[in-house]
Amino acid sequence: MILHIDMDAFFASIEQAINPRLKGKPLIVGSRNNKMYTVVCAASYEAKAYGISSGMASKDAYQLCPNLEFVPAEQSKYIWTSEQIFEMVKTYGFEVSYASIDEFRMDIDKEPQPFILAKTIQKQIEDRFHITASIGIAKNCILAKLASKLKKPNGIAILTEKNLTQALAQTPVQKLCGVGKKSQTSFNSLGIQTCLDLYEKTPDFLQRFSGKNGLNLYAALHATEHFSQEIKEEAPQSIGHSYTLPRASKTPRFIKSWLRLLSEMVAERLRQKNLTSQTTHLWLNGPEIGNLMAQRTQEQATNDGYEIYARTLRIMVKIAPRPALVRALGITCSSLHTPDYPPLFTEQKRREALIKAMDKINTKLGEGSIIPAVITLSRKIA
């Protein structure tokens, strides 16, 4: 059995715990940009009652609720709280893993009293952090996550063999993790309206409908999962990062520092997955240039942030030879391979040693703790 803990309106609840005057008020947590030009990272339940949800433009949120309270996100407190909750639930003696910053999974195996366990966890979280969590328990990760959404906020839902059919029949298919608007429309066109409709489909049907993904979905829904038996994660096709600048800039040094930061972020993820990339893709967006994108494939694969940055600059020179206003930018690496031979030349060896040392520090103190100095320019608004 899997127990899935989903914190209720996590960022907003922490802000309400910090500032009791925000309790009971519609509140959104947004990025550090101006409150009218940002995206809702989290909304309190009082804000959700107005139809405000994560991912919405803050401007739209203010139209729905002009009295909305706004708090700029400060990651350190959310990360610390998340880590503390993770450490706390680990003390129950089960294997625990992160699903996201505000979601945790526990393999509770054949725990005889899952409801009491869930209740105890909820109480401990509330006593210590003054925030609430919803808990779902089911035979596998995907159903446990679904269950955690069924009785929000501060609820517990257990899906057993007895009640599974009824619960799935009452739950629209879009509530299932990974089913977005597009998938929902496709499922609906096939007559799949509820989670039960999907659950009852055969593997053949799902394979015909969406190939390998369909088969994976069937396996995920029907598995009786233990963490150790989890299906092996498939290697990604590409890895990328993008960022929308607070406002458009044409200062080359500023734009380059952002490209360097994104290159380092992509490179770090490549190294975490033990991959190297041959193809670098650059995307630039701005009021004058619209969407500009191009890619370049090199013979030599790399996962070095500096090399990815250098390749990106060569692409930029071609697609935007003159400085232009840039509002958003992104780097994606594809043609991914597992590194097959160690570096041969002295300079390559030196770079690899440097990267390994930086990775070691960043693993210990958190990604982005040690960075190339040029990146600090990205903090300045140009």
Partner 1 sequence: MKQTFNPKARWDRNMPQQENNPEETSGLLDERIDVLAWFKNGKILPRIFTWKQKKYKIKNISYTWQERRGQELITYFSVNTGIDLYQISFTNISFSWQLDRIIA
Query: Which of 103, 111, 200, 352 is labelled catalytic?
Result: 103
Identity of the residue, 36 or 293, whose beta carbon is nearer to partner 1 in the bound complex: 36
Q: Does 107 bind partner 1 (CB under 8 A)?
A: yes
Q: Containing H/E element for 72? A: strand 69-72
Q: Does 246 bind partner 1 (CB under 8 A)?
A: yes
The piece of 47-55, 69-77, 181-189, 343-351 that touches partner 1 (CB under 8 A) is 69-77
Cis status, amide bond into 153, omega within 30 of 0: yes
Identity of the residue, 233 or 340, whose beta carbon is nearer to partner 1 in the bound complex: 233
Identity of the residue, 108 or 196, whose beta carbon is nearer to partner 1 in the bound complex: 108
CA 178 from chain center: how many Å? 12
Query: Whole-angstrom Cα distance, residue 174 to residue 156?
Result: 20
Query: Whole-angstrom Cα distance, residue 265 to residue 292?
Result: 21
Identity of the residue, 83 or 126, whose beta carbon is nearer to partner 1 in the bound complex: 83
Identity of the residue, 5 or 14, whose beta carbon is nearer to partner 1 in the bound complex: 14
Active site residue 103: yes
Q: Are 161 and 21 in contact (CB under 8 A)?
A: no
Q: Are 46 and 67 in contact (CB under 8 A)?
A: no
Q: Does 312 bind partner 1 (CB under 8 A)?
A: no
Q: Does 177 bind partner 1 (CB under 8 A)?
A: no
- Write out the two tokens for 55: 């991912």
Q: Does 371 bind partner 1 (CB under 8 A)?
A: yes
Identity of the residue, 323 or 366, whose beta carbon is nearer to partner 1 in the bound complex: 366
Q: Does 171 bind partner 1 (CB under 8 A)?
A: no
The CA distances from residue 105 to 25, 152, 217, in Å, are: 30, 17, 19
Residue 350, Ramachandran bin (φ over 0: left; ψ between -120 and 50: alpha; else beta)? alpha
The distance of closest approach from Cβ of residue 141 to partner 1 in the complex, given in angstroms and rounded to an integer, is 9
Q: Does 100 bind partner 1 (CB under 8 A)?
A: yes
113-132 positions binding partner 1, by CB under 8 A: 130
DSSP 8-state class, residue 19: -
Binding residue for partner 1, selected from 32, 59, 123, 314, defined by CB under 8 A: 32
260-279 positions binding partner 1, by CB under 8 A: 261, 265
Cβ-proximal residues to 192 (8 Å cutoff; 6+ apart), any chain: 173, 198, 201
326-355 positions binding partner 1, by CB under 8 A: none
Q: Does 33 bind partner 1 (CB under 8 A)?
A: yes
The CA distances from residue 325 to 45, 246, 263, 280, in Å, are: 39, 12, 20, 22
Terminal-residue alpha carbon distance, the chain: 52
Residues forming the active site: 103
- Tell me which residues touch partner 1 (CB under 8 A): 14, 17-21, 30-35, 70, 72, 75-77, 79-83, 86, 95, 97-101, 105, 107, 130, 227-228, 230, 233, 243, 245-246, 261, 265, 363, 365-369, 371, 375-376, 378-381
